[in-house]
Amino acid sequence: MMYEPTIIGMADSTTYLVGRTDNQDNFDALPQLGRIAQCSSLSMAKSLLIEHNVHCAQLTLQTAYDEMCGLPACEPFKQTINF
């Protein structure tokens, strides 16, 4: 199974989750970290990954606003970032 380092951010939140995503979109801890890490900024999330020799990750940005308004959930925005 393939895994990709991942940073997840929620709209209007200052917390970013750092872990990995498999090819079925399951999110869990990176083996190097031992747990899903919480960072208070995107910059801190990138720095954490760099400290563990990871220089590329999938950035996933999500919002709950559609669901809150009774609309179907939209797909999260995903982008591969290099740092």
Predicted confidence (pLDDT) per residue in 33-75, tens digit: 999 999 999 999 999 999 999 999 999 998 766 666 666 767 7
| Per-residue pLDDT, 46 | 97
Report d(CA 38, CA 30) in Å as an integer.
12
CB contact set of 64 (below 8 Å; sequence gap of 6+): 10, 11
Burial annotation 27-65 (CB, 10 A radius, 16+ → b, else e): eeebeebeeebebeebeebbebbeeeebeebebbebbee
| Per-residue pLDDT, 67 | 62
**Domain boundaries along the sequence of the chain:** 3-82
Split at pLDDT 50, 70, 90, the class of 15 is very high
Look up residue 35 and give its two tokens: 């747990």
